[in-house]
Amino acid sequence: MHHSYVDGVPVLRFSEPGPLHATLRFGVGARDETYRMLGISRLVAALAVHAVRQQLPETAEPVVSSGLEETRFTVSGTREEVAECLAVLCRVLPDLPADRLGEVAPALDGEAARSLDPRAVGALNARYGSQAVGLEGHERSQHHLPTADMLLGHAAVWFTRSNAVLTLTGPEPVGLRLPLPPGERPRRFAPQARYPRASWTHRNIDGVALSVETPVGSAAAAVAHRILRERVTAALADQQGPAAPAEAAAALHDSGTVVRLLLAPASASDAEGVAATVWSQALSLARDEPAPAEVARHRSLPEGPSARLRTLDHAARAELFGTPCLDEGSRRRALESVIPRNVRDSWQRAIQRAQLVVPAGLLLCFAGPDGRRLWCTSCWTWDETAPWGQVFREPRAKRAFKRAAERHWMVLTDKSVVSCTPGAYHELRFDDVIALERWGLERNLIGRCGCTIGVDPAWYRDGQRLVRAVDEAVSAELAFDGTGTPPPDHPSPSAEP
């Protein structure tokens, strides 16, 4: 692999015959955005491609991919075509056509915004809340366009030479220039998991998800993850007959930690049984060493991209995120050295802070790794008295036509709002609000926990006073106006916890 620098940008290349393939990668994705600006990295990339298309109408335009951690522009062609396209792309990034935002944004609506399975982003949201890698899993009523200043400011911070790396396969490009703007190395936010020990919680997902944190370079943890996936798939097939296999996914948390996820399919009727299978298999792997033959079966490098592409990817991520960079031979030797005890011990450590995520409506009673009842971390609290404060109830005429189980009310305290239903409540502290959507007289409080609490003054007696109190309690910097009218699925606190 050739390693060089062009205009301060690291360039990694493998020489191969044929056309040149280039990927300009920036270390920015959904994890670096905010609720108000979720999707802004994709918009920056789309506007940049639009500008390239205007300047080079006869040349193949870059193909964009944007995920949790990276935004990539891939270009293929002759050495001259690739060099020209990359140079124009780098020149337009600090001077985006923000006046075209309204034209470009609607074209992205039909594209898949998520690079991970919805169950995976839901599990990340449950683990970290609506911040960093958990942000993309927050359910939204609709996306909001950023302002031109937001767009240009985001590009100026993240789309710079200090946050970029170029990977190439093919012949050396002719006259390659990468005139990206300078900038400081971005500081990335990596929050701690919201709860410090093994737990379970709810999210609106189709299936069951399990998440754990492991060291980035742990070969034993990688083998454990594969073994668990195979065991869960086999156990579910034995119980339910032929079914879709469990899936594995991973997301980078910080330079030393990766979040490993196991995703199991489940219908509403069998979700509890699937959750029990996933959790029992996870406990078993942490308790007993797997058989040597089972370990040996999972010690090879994963199938997929060629060795060279994997090496380029590892090297690029090391440049962008400071993760360990091992060549193909070193990774293979690390895997081949894993023995059953390593697998059990690595998973035993990981499961101490594992989180099981199930669809809403389930109440689980599982034993945790320590033998005690597995901790429930749902935002809703059951069978306890709600915090004391000002109570806002539904109008009497409205309550008279509703069953008691469908009623809801709101409690306003000095530090929070509390959405209540008979037997359960959800408290959202004002210092945990990450955004306040204003839809005319209505309000959506967006919580760091991953929940949204809607407040419509028409729902309550003296509801306008409640809305005024919410506006005063939340920082004006977090408030913004929604466009048009609230969508039909505008959140209501009367929804079942």
At 304-337, the pLDDT tens digits run 668 788 889 999 999 999 998 888 888 889 999 9
Same domain assignment for residues 91 and 220:
no
Instruction: Give residues with Cβ within 8 angstroms of 297, minimum separation 6.
Output: none
Residue carrying structure tokens 């109440």: 363
Same domain assignment for residues 13 and 110:
yes
Residue 127 forms part of a structural domain: yes
Residue 86 forms part of a structural domain: yes
Determine the pLDDT at residue 110.
45
Contact yes or no for 117/125 (Cβ under 8 A) = no
Residue 399 has pLDDT above 70, yes or no: no
Identify the domain containing residue 432 by its residue range: 381-481
Q: What average pLDDT does the chain have?
A: 90
CATH of the domain at 100: 3.30.830.10
Same domain assignment for residues 395 and 286:
no
Return the amino acid letter for 342: N
Confidence of residue 148 (pLDDT cuts 50, 70, 90): very high
Same domain assignment for residues 368 and 260:
yes
With pLDDT > 90 as the criterion, what percentage of the chain qualifies? Answer: 73
Rounded to two decimals, the pTM is 0.90
Residue 479 has pLDDT above 50, yes or no: yes
Residue 71 forms part of a structural domain: yes
Confidence of residue 245 (pLDDT cuts 50, 70, 90): very high
Contact yes or no for 360/323 (Cβ under 8 A) = no
Same domain assignment for residues 158 and 211:
no
Phi (first) and psi of residue 426, to 5 degrees: -130, 115
Which contiguous run of DSSP H or E holds residue 405?
none
For 185-243, the pLDDT digits (tens) are 988 889 999 999 999 999 999 999 999 999 998 999 999 999 999 999 999 998 877 77
Q: How large is the average pLDDT for residues 288-295?
A: 97
Name the DSSP letter for residue 449.
Answer: T
Choose from 14-18, 124-128, 379-383 the range with maximum mean pLDDT: 124-128
Determine the Cα–Cα distance for residues 111 and 93; give it in Å rounded to an integer.
22
Residue 249 has pLDDT above 80, yes or no: yes
Confidence of residue 435 (pLDDT cuts 50, 70, 90): very high
Same domain assignment for residues 152 and 206:
no
Same domain assignment for residues 239 and 142:
no
CATH of the domain at 453: 2.30.29
Helices (H) and strands (E) in the chain, counts: 13, 21
Residue 487 has pLDDT above 80, yes or no: no
Determine the Cα–Cα distance for residues 212 and 198; give it in Å rounded to an integer.
9
Residue 108 forms part of a structural domain: yes
Residue 313 forms part of a structural domain: no
Bridge partner residues of 411 (DSSP): 391, 418
Same domain assignment for residues 406 and 431:
yes
Contact yes or no for 187/34 (Cβ under 8 A) = no
Look at 63-72, 106-115, 239-248, 373-382 and tell me which has the smallest mean pLDDT: 106-115
- Half-sphere exposure for 206 (CA within 13 Å, toward CB): 4
Residue 100 forms part of a structural domain: yes
Same domain assignment for residues 149 and 292:
no
Same domain assignment for residues 86 and 140:
yes
Determine the Cα–Cα distance for residues 231 and 336; give it in Å rounded to an integer.
21
Residue 141 has pLDDT above 90, yes or no: no
Q: Which two tokens stand for residue 346?
A: 């690595």
Strand locations in 170-224 (E)? 199-202, 208-215
Q: How many domains does the chain fold into?
A: 3
Confidence of residue 113 (pLDDT cuts 50, 70, 90): very low
Residue 317 forms part of a structural domain: no
Which of 169, 191, 222 marks a domain boundary?
A: 169
Same domain assignment for residues 391 and 373:
no
Name the DSSP letter for residue 413.
Answer: -
For 91-111, the pLDDT digits (tens) are 999 999 999 888 888 777 545
Q: How far apart are the first and last CA of the chain?
A: 54
Determine the pLDDT at residue 314.
92
Residue 421 forms part of a structural domain: yes
How many C-beta atoms lie closer than 10 Å to residue 461's C-beta?
A: 16
Which of 378, 400, 433 marks a domain boundary?
A: 378
For 349-367, the pLDDT digits (tens) are 999 999 999 998 898 999 9
Same domain assignment for residues 130 and 220:
no
- Half-sphere exposure for 325 (CA within 13 Å, toward CB): 13
Q: Which two tokens stand for residue 230?
A: 């195979």
Q: How large is the average pLDDT for residues 453-477?
A: 95
Q: Which two tokens stand for residue 225?
A: 């993850």
